[in-house]
């Protein structure tokens, strides 16, 4: 049966599930609209238990042959997959931008190339997985990274294509098969991913895409008894629900969740670079889990630095994310707009001082002004809760102990940014901040071999390089007594 398709930005996108190498429809469908202008992007299949069962069964039956290929056998297929992503970069970027409102230039030049790299990097890394042995007086420990089985991969709407490859890359490279559940507010780019993988020769059943609503398709998927892994990126509240499903079946789960990350600026920092980077926290309308949303500035430079940030933010254009001049696009959905506006209204009502922004931007629709609140205390809702919008807070510190206390004063621990001119001081502060990643005099640089994840309620586990394989593989030690084999020919 030909798949239902929708035309988005001139690209035909299949809107059915992709299971066992073919398109599978659902009786139920959900509507999808563009945050850019509210235009209709067509309906998408809404899976339930039947489709989740079908997808996991396909992944389960494809697993033995995919696992048996070994890293070397999988490498050329995954390299073709990565090349296929690059070949369709313009289509993927255009569809992603139409679907979630993220900046087109960013998708084209950064997110899609990174997505391709996620596939090829982990495929190559897997070649060396079983190369090491640990020598002991009596035994040699041969440490093996074996494929684990079917991985359920659940991703959010702010960067669905790139974040899905961050999971699909190591999961498939490790020899697992996968069922991807894309976000219902931006479901289309992952559908393109299924086509690209298929055309590259990824065998039927190895990569399945189950479309649908989180509480329905996602819930059916994570409660399936045949999963070996669940990898989730999304909100802390959803992670608590999925974690209960994982606990019932003792399925290993990794989660990368929200953040309320500190952005500390010391008096001796390069203040121009720091101000530009603060302004950069508004990109993609602040819908970035890693964003440094709490600006924590050394008191003696507070007013000078504020003027630099104000000037940098004043240069930012809010508007259509397809326009190369735009820095701040729309919020994803009317419900999310209402949520962000609710945080801002409550902060205003609570007496926070609005430095700029505070409501709908001149562009109208789902466009929200870059917003900054001062006069907040650490215990205020606006300091504690993740807004996931272009809303920052501003606080001043007098000494480093106070900066660290402010930085660590939420339940989150995903990331942090520090601008500082003194290396010893920077390292002293950095070592005390609770975060999975702490950037010093830079932001957003993510090395694929470095560990990535969150502390506290920002997540469980680390991915990246060998850490991804620690999660996606069943690690086994074959401990062999030294000298216990008869010599050949004896
Ligand atoms: P956000 O608040 O960023 O939308 P969510 O945590 O709600 O983040 O969603 C992230 C992903 O989790 C989406 O793909 C969504 O469909 C999925 N999801 C939401 N609820 C559930 C659930 N109960 N079980 C499984 N997946 C879910």
Question: What is the number of structural domains in the chain?
Answer: 2
Alpha carbons within 13 A on the beta-carbon side of 340:
26
The answer on pLDDT for 2 being more than 90 is: no
Same domain, 399 and 467: no
| Stretch (H or E) spanning 191 | helix 188-200
CATH number of the domain that 224 lies in? 3.40.605.10
Q: Say how many Å lie between the first and final Cα of the chain, rounded.
A: 63
pLDDT above 70 as % of the chain = 99
Same domain, 398 and 460: no
> Is 154's C-beta closer than 6 angstroms to any atom of ligand 1?
yes
Nearest protein Cα to ligand 1, atom 13: 183
What local confidence, expressed as pLDDT, does residue 374 receive?
Answer: 98
How do residues 381-418 score in pLDDT, each as one tens digit?
A: 999 999 999 999 999 999 999 999 999 999 999 999 99
pTM score, whole prediction: 0.97
> Is 218's C-beta closer than 6 angstroms to any atom of ligand 1?
yes
Confidence tier at 1 by pLDDT (50, 70, 90): low
In a domain, residue 486? The reply is no
* 18-34: average pLDDT: 98
Same domain, 154 and 62: yes
| Stretch (H or E) spanning 120 | helix 112-125
> Is 453's C-beta closer than 6 angstroms to any atom of ligand 1?
no
Same domain, 117 and 143: yes
SS3 of residue 344 by DSSP: helix
Same domain, 201 and 103: yes
* Partners of residue 152 on adjacent β-strands: 179, 230
Answer yes or no: are the C-beta atoms of 464 and 451 closer than 8 Å. yes
Percentages of the chain per state (helix, strand, coil), in multiples of 5: 40, 25, 35
Q: Could you give the dihedral angle defined by the CA atoms of residues 107, 34, 368 and 256, in that order, rounded to the nearest 10 degrees? A: -60
How do residues 107-159 score in pLDDT, each as one tens digit?
A: 999 999 999 999 999 999 999 998 889 999 999 999 999 999 999 999 999 99
Same domain, 364 and 470: no
CATH number of the domain that 374 lies in? 3.40.309.10
Same domain, 296 and 208: no
Q: Which residue blocks in 249-331 are alpha helix, DSSP H?
A: 271-279, 302-314
* Partners of residue 14 on adjacent β-strands: 5
In a domain, residue 449? The reply is no
Same domain, 426 and 282: yes
Mean residue pLDDT across the chain: 97
Mutation choice for ligand 1 from 48, 101, 152, 156, CB with most ligand atoms inside 8 A: 156
In a domain, residue 447? The reply is no
* Partners of residue 462 on adjacent β-strands: 453
In a domain, residue 235? The reply is yes
In a domain, residue 484? The reply is no
The mean-pLDDT minimum among 41-45, 479-483, 486-490 falls in 486-490
In a domain, residue 329? The reply is yes
Same domain, 128 and 188: yes
- Domain holding 275, by residue range, is 261-440
| Cα angle: 431, vertex 432, 435; to 5 degrees | 80
In a domain, residue 490? The reply is no
Answer yes or no: are the C-beta atoms of 331 and 368 closer than 8 Å. yes
Output DSSP code: residue 39. Answer: -
The answer on pLDDT for 218 being more than 90 is: yes
The answer on pLDDT for 490 being more than 70 is: no
Mutation choice for ligand 1 from 214, 215, 255, 459, CB with most ligand atoms inside 8 A: 214
Confidence tier at 489 by pLDDT (50, 70, 90): low
463 φ, ψ to 5°?
A: -125, 170
Answer yes or no: are the C-beta atoms of 252 and 152 closer than 8 Å. no
The span from the CA of 391 to the CA of 285, in Å, is 9
């Amino acid at each position: 049966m030909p798949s239902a398709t929708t035309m988005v930005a001139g690209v035909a996108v299949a809107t059915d599930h992709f299971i066992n190498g073919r398109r599978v429809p659902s009786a139920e469908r959900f509507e999808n609209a563009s945050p850019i202008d509210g235009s209709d992007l067509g309906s998408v299949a809404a899976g339930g238990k039947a489709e989740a069962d079908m997808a996991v069964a396909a992944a389960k039956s494809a697993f033995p042959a995919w696992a048996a290929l070994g890293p070397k056998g999988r490498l050329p297929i995954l390299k073709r997959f990565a090349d296929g992503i690059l070949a369709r970069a313009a289509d993927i970027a255009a569809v992603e931008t139409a679907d979630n409102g993220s900046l087109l230039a960013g998708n084209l030049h950064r997110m899609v190339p990174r997505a391709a790299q996620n596939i090829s990097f982990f495929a190559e890394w897997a070649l060396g997985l079983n190369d090491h042995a640990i020598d002991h007086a009596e035994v040699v420990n041969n440490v093996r990274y074996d494929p684990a089985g079917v991985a359920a991969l659940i991703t959010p709407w702010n960067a669905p294509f790139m974040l899905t490859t961050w999971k699909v890359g190591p999961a498939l490279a490790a020899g697992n098969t996968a069922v991807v559940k894309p976000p219902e507010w931006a479901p289309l780019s992952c559908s393109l991913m299924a086509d690209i993988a298929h055309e590259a020769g990824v065998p039927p059943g190895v990569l399945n895409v189950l479309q649908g609503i989180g509480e329905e398709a996602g819930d059916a998927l994570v409660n399936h008894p045949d999963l070996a892994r669940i990898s989730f990126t999304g909100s802390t509240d959803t992670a608590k629900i999925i974690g209960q499903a994982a606990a019932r079946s003792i399925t290993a789960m990794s989660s990368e969740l929200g953040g309320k990350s500190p952005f500390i600026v010391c008096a001796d920092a390069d203040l121009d670079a720091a101000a530009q980077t603060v302004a950069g926290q508004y990109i993609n309308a602040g819908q970035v889990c890693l964003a440094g949303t709490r600006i924590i500035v050394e008191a003696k430079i507070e007013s000078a630095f504020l003027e630099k940030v104000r000037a940098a933010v004043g240069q930012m254009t809010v508007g259509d994310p397809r326009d190369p001049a735009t820095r701040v696009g729309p919020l994803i959905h009317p419900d999310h707009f209402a949520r962000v506006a609710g945080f801002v209204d409550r902060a205003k009502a609570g007496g926070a001082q609005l430095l700029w922004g505070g409501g709908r931007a001149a562009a109208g629709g789902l466009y929200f002004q870059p917003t900054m609140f001062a006069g907040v205390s650490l215990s205020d809702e606006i300091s504690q809760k993740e807004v996931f919008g272009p809303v920052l807070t501003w606080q001043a510190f007098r000494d480093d102990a106070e900066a660290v206390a402010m930085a660590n004063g939420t339940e989150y621990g995903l990331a942090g940014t520090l601008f500082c001119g003194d290396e010893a001081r920077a390292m002293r502060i950095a070592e005390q901040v609770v975060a999975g990643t702490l950037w010093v005099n830079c932001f957003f640089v993510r090395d694929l071999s470095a560990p990535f994840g969150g502390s506290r309620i920002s997540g469980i586990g680390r991915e990246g390089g060998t850490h991804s394989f620690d999660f996606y593989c069943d690690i086994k030690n074959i401990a062999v007594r030294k000298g216990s084999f008869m010599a050949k020919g004896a």
